[in-house]
Amino acid sequence: MRQPAVRCQEFVELVTDWEEGALDDASRLEFEEHMAICPPCVEYVKQLRLTRAVLRGAAELDRRGPSAPPPAARAALLEEFRRQRGNG
């Protein structure tokens, strides 16, 4: 069995470009070839999409649009803000 052209690490790095259609034909073919032989990476893409859908849903509920940071990031920012004010 020959080595896959795209290894899992590279696959993960290419996912966003692939979804945006930013890969050139050769890279896209290698990417899709890897997906055909590597179920864990297919699973990874599914999880990524699910996570994004959840984040998008949260942003819409928030009524601040898709550019609002996800709730966890916002909580961290607020925490940081509070700490800085506490010190000042």
Nearer to Zn ion, 36 or 73 (CB): 36
Q: Which stretch binds Zn ion (CB under 5 A): 4-12, 19-27, 46-54, 66-74?
A: 4-12
Q: Give the CA distances from residue 71 to residues 11, 12, 65, 75, 80, in Å, rounded to whole numbers and listed in that order.
A: 28, 24, 13, 6, 14
Residue 12 binds Zn ion (CB under 5 A):
no
The minimum distance between CB 49 and Zn ion, in angstroms, equals: 16
The CA distance from 68 to 20, in Å, is 20
User: Taking CB under 5 A as the criterion, which residues in 19-48 touch Zn ion?
Assistant: 38, 41
Q: List all residues 6 or more positions away from 1 whose beta carbon is below 8 Å from its beta carbon.
A: none
| Residue ranges that bind Zn ion, judged by CB under 5 A | 8, 11, 38, 41
